[in-house]
Every structure is written in structure tokens, then in C-alpha cells.
């Protein structure tokens, strides 16, 4: 074996503690970068490919009734690949004594022959037979039913019908129809055969077309195909109500993954810098300890090139071990996180696999960053003369002691504390690199808590759209005064508002049918709405045909601006509305939502002084969700007992809770990233403290020789670590401001189409301070114990 190879192996194996510390510093940086790369690549890939695998409908058209022969005819159009029909109806499912919730019933003639919007069986059997029902897994836990139970379905008349529950399935297309307000607001969903509909007193009619196109990846081609189908329906006298189009890879919750990817991209850049500083700090200190050995090599005739390549070989060995450790740990943690996110966002994780982009990224960083970090001290050391190197002038601070700065003397601290304070600033370059590493980690930790607070604050602001305690909906319009009188008979009711409501269809600039719009018309003097405006203004009481649009319009119809006039088809009639503003709602996946005043919308729907939707406020403010549910149940009973057809009585806070579910998944993801940053910062500090103690081994021996106790030496090292930690904590507070703003912009643009306001919270700041104190003690404890246990003989022999 060549001498240089023996030297590399000797350095690697001779000081195991040092080698483990260097390898750990490299590995933790690679793990952090690798995890981010795995999440950035695997999460959107799993969602897109998993969604495409169920053969989702590119076009969904709602109508009154579609004949099977006509559906077959549509399937033969040149742009259409497949065409199928289903019936979609909304009933109520009993969830307890005097409690029920809406359930969307999807019926098909033969599910075994369906190829569009396929589902995955989770439990039981599929497909259902006559008088059987299957529930979708994401809302099944809101019901008390188990496989084999008779599910009680409440009809609009109040009568109860039962169907046997035979299975639970996962449907990734849940919320794909934009008019349905998205996945998180979607109701419980059930699947029955078409011949089961008479059990629920419903006709065996196919009311919804689901079609796939030849090119499901081209939105313009899908739009053209949809308009061709609508024109064909018009020519054949087949009435249609609404249309929705979607790419084959556009999962309903893709925007949340896009938001997470935007966060990961930003944090990934910061983590690369963080890991680079961590590695630079560690390797610079390691190679500075080799100065005297370089002098010995030169005295035996070693050339500068030989020394450079020898130490680069040592660094490469460290990198290789760090890389081998990082790869399996990266995948183990990253895919565990992915498996946890998948059910929250209703997609199917493809499980553990190698992600080439992550492995390649880690390999490049392992090859480039440590070598680049080591190059400066290697070049510096190899450039020294034999006399300089052998004198140890570059590394031996015992021969050239660092005196206490004057400002330290003026503090009149005890001698051990003064030494700790002096040692903090002893290696200024290393201190700067350590502070940068910890400050970046701390900034990302604090920023993630700021984002959690920002999202939670936004969720609270969303509550201003749901200020009523109970939302009461009927299956047909009723007189406003009549409903108000009955509601006020309850001593728990303080006030009630009747809102106009309708489903409209956007008419594009070229007079083509557009997306479905959920339209709301609160009274002109409504006190139950405090919107979050993005552009323009809100409705004035005197507005006639003014309309305010949610953020989804800005994404789907970017040409529509404040002041423009748009056309919306309501009940077969095209009505012009003037856009006066845009508002933020619960994200881009909630569908198109528009607000007008009550009067013009009631006029358009021919429901003047009538309404199907009522907002009820309790006499006692601040009701809990359970109290709101109790009031909703009482009101539902009061109206159904009098023969009114109640379609839903829902607590206001339950709507807010479901609207915020996707945002809560995002905050949980941010917490995971915060923990990752804390781990990286801790290992960085631990490495720094270990290096500091190693370099002062002889100095510690001198202190031991003149009477310093084990406790005093341990205290000095721990105090030194705490001082570094506190300095980094202060630096992280300043760095957290731009990082928080960057995250707010990334999340806001991805989900809402505009940045969300940043909320700065003491939670992240205080937690990071507490963690810094704990971590610095833990990071300093092992080096301190090691230093205090060395004998004077070992210390004097230390290199």
C-alpha cells in the first residue's frame, strides 16, 4: 500500500471521534437536501400519476337527463375517447339520533363496466348490487356505519330508506368538479347502482356526462372538445346545466402540493447554503490541525501537488461515508412523511423507491461541497514553508495564546467565564460560519411557525364568511317572513337572514359556455359577512348588477379585471354583471364563487322575497361547534315536523373546519420541516464544540495541571456553547423576517393567487430559544465530558 494511502486511512481510522463528527456533518447536510429533493419530486409525481391512473374525466357536464344511446353517440366524436353517464343526487344520511348530513349519491348502471373515474377498494366489496351502497373513505368516519350495517338515507320528504353498506372505497376525483367547492368541502359520498335509485324515490335517469378526451394533457383541446359536446347537445335538444374541465393529471388537491413544492424549493436553497457552511466549518478546522504534519511531509520531499491530492483524498473518503449513510436515511424519513401526507390530500403514495434526482443531487453535493470547503485550508497549508509548518504557528494557540480582549476585562467576570467568553471569539471565521449555519436553521424554524400562525390567522379570517351559527338550506324556496317567524319561535335564535343562491355558468368572451359558478346573494344590509378583498371594492347596498369574484377567477379567467362586464347564464338566461372586486376565499380548489346583492340574484332566479338558504345567529354569542350542532338539530326538527323539506342544517364552524382542513395539512408539513432544520442546526453546533475542544486539548491539560477541576472544565465548555447558541438565536430573529416573507409569498401565490399577510408569533422565537439552550447543553456535554476525563499524559501526547 502506498504511503499516501496509508496516511489517508490512518487519519480516517486513527481518531474515530473526529472522523464520526466530520462524516456526521456531511451526512446531515446531505440528508436535509436529499429529503427536500425526494419530497419535491416524489410528491407531485405520485399525485399526478396516481390521479391519471384512475382515468379521470376531462369533461363533466350536468344536465337533466341523458339517453344512453346519445351518450354512445358522444363517445364516437373525434375529440372524445370515452363517454359515460351517471346520476348524481343529494340526499341526507342519518349520523345519529335526530342528526343527519348531506350525502352525494353517485349511481351508475354497471360499475364493473365503468372505465372513467375508477375507485380503489379499501374495505369490503366492490361494486355494489341493487339495494346496496358503498361509501367513500374520506368522509366515512363521519358516519357510525360499519360493513354489513343498514345505512339510513333520509329522503326530501323526511322518510327513511335503508341500503346495506358493503364496501369502502377511495375516490381520488372527489372535489374534481369545480362547482363542488373542492375536496375539503365535499359532502359524504355514496355509490349505488342505477336500479337502486327508485328505493330513494329517484328516477333512473343519467344526469351527468363524464368524458375523457383524446389529449387529456392539453387544456385548450379539452375546452374545444367540451364546447363541441355542448353544441351537439344543443342541436339534439338535450338541455345542459353546467360544465367543468380538468387535465388528466390535475388532481383536485394539486395546488396544496404546488404550495409545498414552492416551500421546499425555497427551503432547499437555504438548506444547501446551510449544509455548505456546516461542511466548510468542520473541514477547515480539521485540516488546520494537520499543519505540523504537512511540514513533516515537505521535509521529506513531498510536493505541493502530492499534499493537495492526499488531503482531497481524505475529504473524499469522508464524503463517501457521509453519502452512504445519507442515502438510506433520506429515503426512510422522506417516504414516511409522504405516506403520512397521502391520505390527508387524498392521493395514493407509490411507496418507497429510489428517486434519481435526489441521489444525483446528493452525489453532486458530496463531491463538490466538501472538496471546495477543504480546498482553501489545503492550499493554505500546502503553501507554507517547512519552518512555518513545523513551528505550528498556524494552529498551536498554546504557543501563541489569545489574550482576553479589553472589553472582556471590563466586565469583571470570573476567570472561567472570561475564558469561555474569550474562546467564543477565538476562531472568528469559525464563529461566523457557525453563526450563519445556526442562524439559517433558526430562521427557517422560526419562519415555519410564523407561517403556521399566518395560515391559522387566515383560517380565522375565513370565519368571517361563516359568521352565522347555523346555515339552514331547503330543497325548495320558502317565504322569507314565514321562515323567520318559525325560527324566532326558538328562544335560542337572535336573528335570521335569507340569502339568494344559485348555480350559474360562466359565458366566455367568445360566447362559449364556461365553468360552473356558485352564486351567493346576501341581503344588502347583511351583518354576517366580512370579506377579504384582493382588488377593487365590496358590494354597496345600491348596486344593481354588481358582482365580486373569488381568487379562482383570477386563475381561470386572468383577462377579467375590475370594471369589466361578464355574462353568467342563470336558469337558461344570460345576465350581464359588472365586476367591482375580487376576494380571497379558501383557495383555488374551492371552485368559482361569486357574491351579488340579494335583489338582483333573487330577480334572476325568480325567488323574490323567497330563499332556499338561511343564515341563523344564536342569541348567545360564542357557541362551540357542539352547541351549534345542537341548535342546528333543533331547528331541523322544528321545520321538518311542520312539513318543510330541509336539505341541510349545518353548524357554521363545521364549514370553517372543513375549509381549513387542507391548510391544516400544510401547517403540519411546515412543522415537520421546522424539526428538520432544528436537527441540522444542532448537529452543526455539536460539531463546532467538538472541534473547539479538540483544538484546545493541550490547553485544557495545562489547566488540569494547575488545579482546574472536572466541573470547572465542563462548565467552561458548556458556557461557551450556550454563548454561541444565544448569539445565533439573535441572528436567527433577523434572518427569519425575509424567510417568513418569502414563504408567505410562495404559499399565498400557490393557494390563493396572492401573498398572505405574515403573522409574527413568539411561539417559534421562544421555542427556538428553549431548544438552543437545550441543544447547546447537549452539544457541549459530550465534548466537555471527554475533555474533563483526559489524563495529563494523554493530553500532552495529543496531536
C-alpha cell of residue 127: 361494486
Is 429's pLDDT higher than 70?
Answer: no
* DSSP assignment string, 76-97: TSTTEEEEEEEEEEEEEEEEET
Is 422's pLDDT higher than 70?
Answer: no
Q: How far apart are CA 229 and CA 225, in angstroms?
A: 6
Q: How far apart are CA 514 and CA 107, in angstroms?
A: 26
Q: CB within 8 A of 163, min separation 6: which ones?
A: 131, 132, 133, 150, 151, 153, 192, 196, 199
Chain segment 552-587, per-residue pLDDT in tens = 888 888 899 999 999 998 887 899 999 999 998 876
Catalogue the E-assigned strands of 171-297.
Answer: 188-193, 208-213, 240-245
CA distances to 81, 136, 182, 498 from 57, in Å: 10, 18, 15, 36
Given a contact cutoff of 8 angstroms between Cβ atoms, the answer to whether 373 and 283 are in contact is yes
Helix (H) or strand (E) holding 465: none
Q: Hey, which of 146-160, 205-219, 442-456, 549-563 has the most confident mean pLDDT?
A: 205-219
Query: What was the pLDDT predicted at 581?
Result: 95
* DSSP assignment string, 493-553: EEEEEEEEEEEEEEE-TTS-EEEEEEEEE--TT-SS---EEEEE----TT-SSEEEEEHHH
Is 652's pLDDT higher than 70?
Answer: yes
For 186, other C-beta atoms within 10 Å of its C-beta total 22
Place 74 in a pLDDT band, splitting at 50, 70 and 90: very high
Closest CA to 766 of 435, 420, 425, 453: 453
Mean pLDDT computed over 632-645: 88
Chain segment 670-722, per-residue pLDDT in tens = 777 777 777 777 776 676 666 666 666 666 666 766 776 767 777 777 777 77
Given a contact cutoff of 8 angstroms between Cβ atoms, the answer to whether 109 and 193 are in contact is yes
Q: How far apart are CA 601 and CA 593, in angstroms?
A: 14
Closest CA to 56 of 325, 245, 186, 283: 245
CA distances to 89, 144, 147, 177 from 105, in Å: 5, 18, 18, 15
pTM beyond 0.75, yes or no: no
Q: CB within 8 A of 768, min separation 6: which ones?
A: 442, 445, 446, 678, 729, 732
Q: How far apart are CA 229 and CA 703, in angstroms?
A: 89
Q: How far apart are CA 54 and CA 369, in angstroms?
A: 43
Query: What was the pLDDT predicted at 399?
Result: 45
How far is C-alpha 83 from the geometric centre of its chain's CA atoms? Answer: 35
How far is C-alpha 634 from the geometric centre of its chain's CA atoms? Answer: 38
Given a contact cutoff of 8 angstroms between Cβ atoms, the answer to whether 420 and 784 are in contact is no
- Give the residue ranges of DSSP H helices in 618-709: 625-640, 652-659, 661-695, 697-705
Is 588's pLDDT higher than 70?
Answer: no
Q: How far apart are CA 44 and CA 65, in angstroms?
A: 37
Is 19's pLDDT higher than 90?
Answer: no
CA distances to 3, 101, 185, 769 from 773, in Å: 45, 50, 43, 6
Does 127 sit behind a cis peptide bond, omega within 30 degrees of 0 on the bond before it? Answer: yes
Q: CB within 8 A of 220, min separation 6: which ones?
A: none
Which of 283-287, 449-453, 551-555 shows the lowest mean pLDDT across its residues?
283-287
Average pLDDT, the chain: 82
For 265, other C-beta atoms within 10 Å of its C-beta total 12
Chain segment 358-412, per-residue pLDDT in tens = 999 999 988 888 888 777 777 776 777 777 666 655 444 444 454 555 555 555 5
Mean pLDDT computed over 499-523: 86
Is 783's pLDDT higher than 70?
Answer: no
| Helices and strands (H, E) in the chain, number of each type | 23, 20
Chain segment 336-351, per-residue pLDDT in tens = 888 888 888 888 888 8
Q: Which residue has the cell 335538444?
A: 237
Q: Which DSSP letter does residue 747 get?
A: H
Above pLDDT 70, what percent of the chain?
Answer: 83
Query: What was the pLDDT predicted at 398?
Result: 42
Q: Which residue has the cell 449555519?
A: 437
Helix (H) or strand (E) holding 66: none
- Provide the CB-side half-sphere exposure for 761 (13 A, CA): 20
Mean pLDDT computed over 767-787: 75
Q: Which DSSP letter does residue 401 get?
A: P
Amino acid at each position: 500500500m502506498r504511503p499516501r494511502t496509508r496516511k489517508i486511512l490512518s487519519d480516517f481510522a486513527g481518531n474515530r471521534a473526529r472522523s464520526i463528527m466530520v462524516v456526521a456533518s456531511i451526512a446531515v447536510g446531505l440528508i436535509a437536501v436529499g429529503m427536500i429533493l425526494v419530497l419535491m419530486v416524489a410528491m407531485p409525481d405520485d399525485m399526478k400519476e396516481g390521479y391519471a391512473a384512475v382515468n379521470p374525466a376531462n369533461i363533466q357536464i350536468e344536465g337533466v337527463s341523458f339517453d344512453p344511446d346519445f351518450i354512445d353517440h358522444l363517445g364516437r366524436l373525434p375529440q372524445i375517447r370515452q363517454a359515460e353517464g351517471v346520476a348524481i343526487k343529494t340526499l341526507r344520511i342519518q349520523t345519529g339520533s335526530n342528526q343527519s348530513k348531506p350525502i352525494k349519491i353517485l349511481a351508475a348502471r354497471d360499475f364493473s363496466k365503468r372505465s372513467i373515474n375508477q375507485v380503489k377498494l379499501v374495505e369490503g366489496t366492490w361494486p355494489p348490487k341493487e339495494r346496496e351502497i358503498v361509501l367513500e373513505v374520506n368522509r366515512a368516519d363521519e358516519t357510525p356505519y360499519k360493513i354489513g350495517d343498514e345505512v339510513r338515507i333520509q329522503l326530501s320528504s323526511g322518510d327513511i330508506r335503508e341500503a346495506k353498506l358493503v364496501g369502502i372505497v377511495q375516490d381520488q376525483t372527489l372535489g374534481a368538479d369545480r362547482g363542488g367547492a373542492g375536496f375539503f368541502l365535499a359532502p359524504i359520498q355514496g355509490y349505488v347502482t342505477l336500479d337502486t335509485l327508485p328505493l330513494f324515490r329517484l328516477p333512473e335517469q343519467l344526469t351527468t356526462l363524464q368524458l375523457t378526451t383524446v389529449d387529456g394533457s392539453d387544456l385548450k383541446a379539452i375546452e374545444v372538445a367540451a364546447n363541441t359536446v355542448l353544441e351537439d347537445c344543443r342541436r339534439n335538444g338535450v338541455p345542459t346545466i353546467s360544465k367543468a374541465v380538468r387535465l388528466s393529471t390535475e388532481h383536485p388537491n394539486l395546488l396544496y402540493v404546488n404550495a409545498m413544492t414552492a416551500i421546499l424549493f425555497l427551503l432547499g436553497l437555504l438548506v444547501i447554503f446551510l449544509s455548505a457552511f456546516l461542511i466548510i466549518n468542520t473541514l477547515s478546522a480539521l485540516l488546520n490541525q494537520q499543519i505540523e504534519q504537512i511540514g513533516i511531509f515537505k521535509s521529506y520531499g513531498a510536493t505541493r501537488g502530492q499534499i493537495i491530492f492526499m488531503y482531497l483524498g481524505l475529504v473524499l473518503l469522508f464524503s463517501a461515508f457521509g453519502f452512504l449513510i445519507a442515502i438510506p436515511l433520506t429515503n426512510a424519513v422522506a417516504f414516511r412523511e409522504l405516506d403520512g401526507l397521502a391520505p390527508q390530500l387524498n392521493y395514493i403514495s407509490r411507496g418507497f423507491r429510489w428517486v434519481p434526482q435526489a441521489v444525483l443531487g446528493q452525489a453532486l453535493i458530496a463531491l463538490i461541497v466538501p472538496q471546495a470547503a477543504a480546498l482553501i485550508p489545503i492550499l493554505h497549508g500546502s503553501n507554507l514553508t517547512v519552518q512555518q509548518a513545523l513551528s505550528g504557528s498556524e494552529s498551536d494557540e498554546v504557543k501563541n495564546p489569545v489574550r482576553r480582549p479589553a472589553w472582556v476585562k471590563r466586565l469583571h467576570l470570573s476567570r472561567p467565564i472570561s475564558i469561555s467568553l474569550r474562546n467564543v471569539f477565538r476562531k472568528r471565521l469559525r464563529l461566523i460560519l457557525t453563526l450563519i449555519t445556526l442562524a439559517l436553521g433558526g430562521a427557517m424554524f422560526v419562519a415555519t411557525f410564523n407561517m403556521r400562525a399566518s395560515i391559522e390567522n387566515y383560517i380565522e379570517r375565513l370565519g368571517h364568511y361563516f359568521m352565522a351559527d347555523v346555515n339552514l338550506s331547503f330543497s325548495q324556496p320558502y317565504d322569507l317572513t314565514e321562515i323567520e317567524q318559525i325560527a324566532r319561535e326558538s328562544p335560542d335564535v337572535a336573528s335570521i337572514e335569507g340569502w339568494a343562491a344559485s348555480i350559474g355558468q360562466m359565458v366566455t368572451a367568445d360566447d362559449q359556455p364556461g365553468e360552473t359558478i356558485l352564486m351567493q346573494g346576501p341581503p344588502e344590509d347583511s351583518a354576517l359577512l366580512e370579506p377579504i378583498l384582493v382588488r377593487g371594492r365590496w358590494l354597496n347596498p345600491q348596486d344593481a348588477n354588481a358582482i365580486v369574484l373569488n381568487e379562482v377567477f383570477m386563475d381561470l379567467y386572468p383577462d377579467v379585471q375590475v370594471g369589466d362586464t361578464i355574462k353568467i347564464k342563470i336558469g337558461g338566461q344570460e345576465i350581464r354583471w359588472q365586476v367591482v372586486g375580487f376576494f380571497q376565499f379558501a383557495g383555488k380548489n374551492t371552485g368559482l364563487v361569486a357574491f351579488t346583492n340579494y335583489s338582483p340574484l333573487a330577480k334572476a332566479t325568480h325567488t323574490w322575497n323567497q330563499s332556499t338558504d338561511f343564515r341563523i345567529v344564536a342569541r348567545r354569542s360564542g357557541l362551540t361547534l357542539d352547541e351549534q350542532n345542537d341548535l342546528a338539530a333543533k331547528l331541523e326538527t322544528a321545520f321538518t315536523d311542520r312539513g318543510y323539506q330541509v336539505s341541510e342544517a349545518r353548524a357554521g364552524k363545521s364549514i370553517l373546519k372543513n375549509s381549513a382542513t387542507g391548510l391544516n395539512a400544510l401547517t403540519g408539513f411546515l412543522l415537520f420541516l421546522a424539526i428538520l432544520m432544528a436537527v441540522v442546526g444542532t448537529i452543526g453546533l455539536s460539531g463546532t464544540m467538538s472541534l473547539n475542544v479538540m483544538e484546545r486539548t493541550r490547553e485544557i491539560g495545562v489547566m488540569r495541571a494547575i488545579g482546574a477541576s472536572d466541573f470547572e472544565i465542563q462548565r467552561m465548555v458548556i458556557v461557551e456553547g450556550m454563548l454561541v447558541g444565544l448569539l445565533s438565536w439573535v441572528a436567527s430573529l433577523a434572518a427569519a423576517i425575509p424567510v417568513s416573507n418569502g414563504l408567505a409569498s410562495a404559499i399565498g401565490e400557490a393557494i390563493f393567487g396572492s401573498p398572505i399577510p405574515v403573522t409574527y408569533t413568539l411561539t417559534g422565537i421562544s421555542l427556538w430559544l428553549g431548544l438552543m439552550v437545550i441543544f447547546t447543553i447537549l452539544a457541549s456535554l459530550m465534548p466537555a465530558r471527554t475533555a474533563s476525563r483526559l489524563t495529563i499524559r494523554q493530553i500532552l501526547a495529543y496531536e
